[in-house]
Chain A
Amino acid sequence: MWNDLVQIGIVLLILFVLMVPMGKYLYIVFGDKESKLDRIFLPFEKVIYRISGIRQIEEMTWKKYAVTLLAINGILGVIAYFVLRFQGGLPLNPAKIENMEPSLIFNTITSFLTNTNLQHYSGESGLSVLSQMLVITMFMFTYAATGLAVCIAFIRGLSSKGRSIGNFYQDWLRAHTRVLIPLSLIVTLTLVALGVPQTLDANVTVQTLEGGKQTIAMGPVASLESIKHLGTNGGGFFGVNSSHPFENPNVFTNIIEILSMWIIPASLPFTYGRMVKNSKQGWVIFGVMLTIFLLLLSLVYSQEKAGNPAFNELGFSHNQGSMEGKEVRFGIPMSALFTSVTTAATTGTVNNMHDTLTPLGGLVPLSLMMLNSVFGGEGVGLMNMLMYAILAVFLSGLMVGRTPEFLGRKIEAKEMKLIVIALLAHPLIILMPSAIALGTTLGTEAISDSGFHGISQVLYEYTSSAANNGSGFEGLGDNTIFWNTTTGLVMLFGRYISMVVLLAVAGSLITKQPVPETLGTFRTDNATFGTILIGTVIIIGALTFFPVLVLGPVAEYLTIR
C-alpha cells in the first residue's frame, strides 16, 4: 500500500516541479512580446511563413480565427481522404495494402482530425507507410497544435481588450515549432535510451524455442510514442497500445509517458494565470482539476486493489488486486494512474485494458471523459474548465448582489446563449447515440457482454469519441458502418462545436470593458470559488450522466458484489 502510494506520489511530485516552469514557458511562447525564443525559432519560422505565403501576422477577430482554423483542418482532412482512398495505388506501399472503405475513412480521418485517435482500423493491416506518415503522424502534431492554439486564443479573450484574439497561423506554427517538436525530440531520445525501439528496418523474424517462426513488428516506435502522449493523441503503434513492451517497456518509460501526456494540460492553468495577470487564478483552476482527479484516482486504485469479487467467491487469492488485463511490470498503482491520466487528459493511450477494469474502476475513466475538463486534452480541457468557471460565476455570482462577472467581464445573455450550446452538445452527443445504439440491433450486435457491462461498453465508446479521447472498451466490435459513422459524427461535433462556440465567447468578452475589482467583486481566485467550481462541475457536468452511470457500471458493481 505505502509502496503504491510512493510510486504515485513520485509521479505527482515530478509533475508539480515541472508544471509551473512549463506554464511560464508556454506563456512566453504565445505571448505577444519579443522573447529570447525568437532568436532560436524565428529564422526557421520565417522560412515557413514565406513558403506558405503569409506576408504578415494580422490580428484576427474570433470569426476569422475560427474560419481559418476550420479551413486548415478541412483542407488537411480532404488531403487525408485522398491518401487513404487511393493508398493502394500510391507510393510507399510495400505491403500492398488496399484502398480503405469510405465509412472507415470518414471515421479514421475524423478520429485523427479531432485528436481522438479512436482506432477502428488496424494499423498493421489497414494502412500503407505513406498513410501512416502523412495521415496519422502528421495529424498527431497538427491537431494537438490546433487545440493548444484555440485555448490560448480563448484565454486572450478573457485577458485582453480589443477585438483580436490573436493570429491562428502564428499560434499554430509556434505550437509546432516551439512546443510539440522540441518536446517530442527530447521525449523520443529519452525513450530510446530507456529501450523503446526506433528503427526504419524491416520486421525481425525469429525462431522461437518451440521451433516455430515469429515475426516481431518493429519500426519508428519511440518517435510515435512521444507525440502520441505529448499531443494527447493516443493512437498507438501497436494494437495493444502502451501495454506493448516495445511501446512501454518499463516503469520508467511508463512514468515518462504519463508525464508527457499530463504536462501540457497541467501547466496550461499556470499559463492562464500569467495571461490574466493573477497567478492565483491559475492555482484555483489547477486545484479544482487536481482535487477531482485525485478523488477519481483513489476510486479506481482502491477498486482495482480490492480485486474482483467474483474471484473471491471462487476462492482465488487476489492479494495483488484485479490484474486481469493489466501488465505485471506496472502493477495496480501505475495502471490506475495511467488509466486516470489518459482519460483525464483525454489522450486515449492505454497501458492496461479498460474493458477489464472492475465496474467502479471502469466508472473512473468514463467519468473523467464525461467531465472532459479535469486537465483535459491539449488546451480543450482548460477551455472546458473555464466554461464551467463562467457557469459557476453565473449561477452563484449573483449571491454577492452583483450581476455576474468573470475576470471583470460581465457575463450576459449573449455569452450564456453561446455557452449553453456547448453545455447541451456534450450530453446530447453521448446520450443520444448511446440510446440509439442500445435501442436498435445496429448497435447491440457489436456488444460483447450483454447486461450492464454492455451499457458501459456503448457509453464508453461514445464518451470517448465525444471527449476526443480515443480509448475504448475494446470488447465492442465497432468497425461497422453504423459505428464508424456515428462515432465519426460524435467526434466531429465533440471537437468543433465547443471550440467554435468558446471562441465566439472569447470574441464577445474581449470587446467588453473590464469592471475594476473592488471589495464588492465576486472573487474567482480563492478557495471559496474553487469549492463552487467543483460543485458546478459535479452538479452540471456529472449529474447529467448519473442515471446511465447507475445503470451501467454502478448496477454491474452492485450485482456482482
Chain B
Amino acid sequence: MRSDQRNSLFTGPMIRQALIESVKKLNPLIMMKNPVMFVVEVGTFLTLLMILFPKFFGVEGTVGYIVIVFLTLLLTILFANFAEALAEGRGKAQADTLKKTKADTIAKRLTSSGKIEEVSSVDLRKGDIVLVETGDTIPGDGEIIEGLASIDESAITGESAPVIKEAGGDFNSVTGGTKVVSDWIKVRITVDPGESFLDKMISLVEGASRQKTPNEIALNTLLITLTLIFVLVCVTLLPITKYVGVKLEIATLIALLVCLIPTTIGGLLSAIGIAGMDRVTRFNVLAMSGKAVEAAGDINTMILDKTGTITFGNRMAAQFIPVGDHTEDEACQAAMLSSIQDETPEGRSIIELAKEQGCTLDEQKYKKAEIIPFAAETRMSGMDFEGVSYRKGAIDSVMQFVKEKGGVIPTNLKEKGEQIASLGGTPLAICIQNEIIGLIYLKDTVKPGMKERFAELRKMGIKTIMCTGDNPLTAKTIANEAGVDDFVAECKPEDKIRVIREEQIQGKLVAMTGDGTNDAPALAQADVGLAMNSGTMAAKEAANMVDLDSDPTKIIEVVSIGKQLLMTRGALTTFSVANDIAKYFAILPAMFSVAIPEMQTLNFMHLSSPTSAILSALIFNAVIIPLLIPLAMKGIAYKPMPAVKLLQRNLLIYGVGGVIAPFIGIKLIDIVLQVFGL
C-alpha cells in the first residue's frame, strides 16, 4: 500500500469524491462539530434569507452585492469542507486496499479430536486453533503454536520478501490476511472477528476512530473563544454605529465577522491532523492515536536498543591479528580457509575483509572439502580438507581443540584476545590443525549515518540513551562510536522501565522501540512506544505505534513527523490570526466611509470602492483556504535545528508573512474586481 500511492497527493477520483463530500458536509448537524465554520454557515444562511426576502430585510437595493457575499461565504465553507474531505479521502483510499485483503477466507479449524473442519474466517473465535499450509491465507491474528513457515506479509507491510515465523520466541505472531508461502503452521487465534490488527488498521487509516488530540481540543477552545469575541465585536457594533448615524449593512457586518474569525485555521485544523496521521501511515508506521503522534513531537529522550537499531547486530570482521610467530598474511589466509562456504554474516564478512586485504583463494580446489558448520557444543566452525582441520571459534574452544591435538598455545594469545575485548569487539581464534595462527577481530558495526542522525536529534534537544546487553566496556566503545548521549550496559528489560521512569520523573517524555514480549511493559510505560511488526502480539498491543517494516531506526523519523505536524498547526494558526490586521484595514474604512467620508484616510491600501474592499477581504479569506491545503497536507518544511532558530524562521514566514500577505492579496483581488467593474 505504500509505493503505489506515495506520490499521488491528489488523484482525480479522490478529488471528485472530496468535492461530493464537501457538499454533504454542509449539513448543519455535521457542521456543528466545527463551531468556527458553523458561524460562517449561519452567516451564509442569513444572507440567503436576505436574498430570498429582500423586502423583509429592507435590502432591495443591494441584492446583487448580497448575492456575491453569499456566494463567497458558501465557497469559504466548501473550501474548508473540501480540505477535510480530501485528507479523509486519502485515508479511505488506503483503507480500501486493506479491505481487499480482508476478504473472507476458508479456515482449517482443528477440532479437539484433531480433525480438520473447514469454516469461514468470520466464524473463528479467540482460542480456536487452525492449520495453515502453503498457499493458504492466515485467517486471523494469532500465535504459532507449532511449526515454522515463511510468510508473505506484503499485504500489510508492502515488503515483498517473505519472513520466517516459528513457534516459541519473539517471532511467533502472525497477522490475518498474510499468506503462508512455504511449510505449514498451527496457529492459535488470539482475537475475535472485528478486533483484528487489520480491522484496527482499516479503521485507523479511514479516520473512523479518529479522536481530537489534547492539543487540538485546547486549540479549538481558543478558536471558539476568538470566534465568540468577534461575534461580540460585530453585534455590539450595530447600536454603537447607529448612535453616530452610520447605517450598517447586515451583509457587510457578516462579511466583517467571517473575515475576523479564524476561518483559515478553523477550516484546516482537522485536515492538518488527519494529514499528519496519514504521513505517519504512509511511512508504514501505524499510530494507534493522533495523541501518540503529537507526543512524538514532544519527546525529550529516546531509548534505543543497540542491536538492530544502532548497529547491524551481526558482528563483522574488522581485523586479522596474528599470534605467535605468524604473520598477518598467514592469519588472513587461515581465516579465509576456515570460512569457506560459511554463509553466516560473520563468515561472509571474513571472506570480504580477507579479499580486501589481498588474500586470494582458489575455491575450486576446496570444492571437495568437508564443511563443519557451527555447533553449539563445539562453538567452532570451519572445514576438513585432505586430513587437515581448519577451525575458527571462541578462544577457549579453539584452545581446547588444539590442546587435544597436542599443539602449543602461543604466549601472546591471551593478551591479544583481551585487547580485542577491551575495544568492544569479539575475538575469534583461528587454527590450522594443532597450531593457532591468529585472531579475528569481530566488531559490531554502527550503521552508516547514525552519528549524523544523533547529532540532529541533539540539535532538536533530544537525548539518546542506548540500551545493550554488552558489558560496560563494549557498550562505551559503541556508544562513543555512534555518538549517543548515554548508555545502559548489561541492560535487562526491567532496566529499560527503570530508565524510562527515571526520565519521566524529571518531566521528560520518552520514546522507545521494542519487539519482544519482555519489552511490552516498557513499551507501555513509554510515552511513545514503537513496536516492530515482526514482534510479538504483546509488544504490539502495549505500544502506541507499530512499524510495519520492523525498522527500529524509524522512531527518529516518527519524531520528525510529530514535530512537523505540530509546527504546521502552529504556523497556520499564527498565520490565520495575523491576517486579521489587514482585514480590519480593508473592511473598517469601507464600512464607515459612506457615512464618514474622512474614514477614507484609513484606506491606505487605496482599495477602489467600499464594496470592492469588503468583497476583496472576503474573497481573500475564502481563497486562502484552498491555497493552503497543500501546505496543510504535506506539512511545513522541517529541518532539525534548535528551537530558537526554528521559531525565528517560522515566525518570519508565517507570522510576519501572515501580517503582510493579506495586504498584498486583498489589493490584488481589488484590482481584479475593478477590471470586472465591481
Contact = CB atoms under 8 A, between A and B. Distances in A.
A37 B414 CA distance: 72
Nearest to B461: A520
Interface stretch (B64-72, B192-200, B240-248): B240-248
Nearest to B459: A519
Interface in A513-528: 513-516, 518-523, 526, 528
Interface in B239-271: 239-244, 246, 260
A367 to B, nearest CB: 15
Given A398-B569, A550-B588, A559 B563 contact: no
B567 A399 contact: yes
Contacts of A417: 218, 221
Contact of B229 (A408, A424, A514, A522): A424
Nearest to A452: B244
Nearest to B460: A520
Interface stretch (A135-143, A188-196, A334-342, A434-442): A434-442
B462 A526 contact: no
A451 B242 CA distance: 11
Contacts of B217: 413
B599 A555 contact: yes
Interface of B (DSSP majority class): helix
Interface string B210-249: 0000110111011011101110110111111111101000
B642 A520 contact: yes
Interface of B: 214-215, 217-219, 221-222, 224-226, 228-230, 232-233, 235-244, 246, 260, 294, 297-298, 300, 458-463, 505-509, 562-564, 566-567, 569-571, 573-574, 577-578, 580-581, 584, 588, 592, 596, 598-599, 601-602, 638, 642-644, 646-648, 650-651, 654-655
A521 B461 CA distance: 7
Given A399-B571, A516-B506, A423 B237 contact: no
B243 A558 contact: no
B236 A435 contact: yes
A532 B655 contact: yes
A402 B642 CA distance: 12
Interface residues of A, number: 65
Interface string A394-421: 1111111111100010011101110010
A516 B294 contact: no
A383 B596 CA distance: 39
Given A395-B570, A539-B581, A550-B588, A402 B239 contact: no
5 contacts: A399-B567, A401-B646, A427-B232, A551-B244, A559-B598
B584 A546 contact: yes
Contacts, number: 211
Closest 4 CB pairs of A and B: A398-B570, A520-B461, A401-B563, A439-B239
B357 to A, nearest CB: 43
Contacts of B655: 396, 532, 535
A545 B493 CA distance: 59
Nearest to B215: A403
A408 B507 contact: yes
Contacts of B581: 539, 543
A514 B507 contact: yes
Contact of B458 (A519, A531, A551): A519
A451 B241 CA distance: 10
A11 B658 CA distance: 38
A294 interface: no
B563 A544 contact: no
Contact of B221 (A420, A519, A546): A420
A555 B596 CA distance: 8
Nearest to A430: B236
A528 B647 contact: yes
A399 B243 contact: no
B574 A396 contact: yes
B228 A424 contact: yes
Contacts of B646: 399-401
A543 B573 contact: no
B243 A401 contact: no
Contacts of B571: 398-399
Contacts of B224: 420
A539 B580 contact: yes
Contacts of A432: 232, 236
Contacts of A415: 218
A452 B246 CA distance: 11
A400 B239 contact: no
B254 to A, nearest CB: 14
A428 B235 CA distance: 11
A213 interface: no
Contacts of A402: 297-298, 563, 566, 643
Contact of A539 (B506, B564, B577): B577
Given A395-B570, A403-B297, A544-B233, 18 more contacts: A398-B571, A398-B573, A402-B297, A452-B244, A454-B244, A455-B240, A514-B507, A515-B508, A515-B509, A516-B506, A526-B644, A528-B648, A531-B651, A532-B655, A539-B577, A540-B577, A550-B602, A559-B598
Contacts of A212: none
Contacts of B599: 550, 555, 558
Interface string A528-552: 1001100100011001101110110
A431 interface: yes
Contacts of B507: 408, 513-516
Name, among B219, B221, B570, B642, the residue most crowded by chain A CB atoms within 10 Å (CB to CB).
B570
A412 B226 CA distance: 17
A528 B644 contact: yes
B223 to A, nearest CB: 10
A561 interface: yes
A559 B595 CA distance: 12
B243 A454 contact: yes
A454 B246 CA distance: 14
A337 B239 CA distance: 34
A250 interface: no
A302 interface: no
A544 B256 CA distance: 12
Interface in A83-123: none
Contacts of A420: 221-222, 224-225
Interface in A488-530: 513-516, 518-523, 526, 528
Given A402-B566, A413-B214, A522 B647 contact: yes
Contacts of A550: 588, 592, 599, 602
Contacts of A520: 300, 460-462, 642-643
A528 B651 contact: yes
A331 to B, nearest CB: 30
Contacts of B588: 546-547, 550
Nearest to A459: B240
A558 B601 contact: yes
Name, among B243, B246, B562, the residue most crowded by chain A CB atoms within 10 Å (CB to CB).
B243
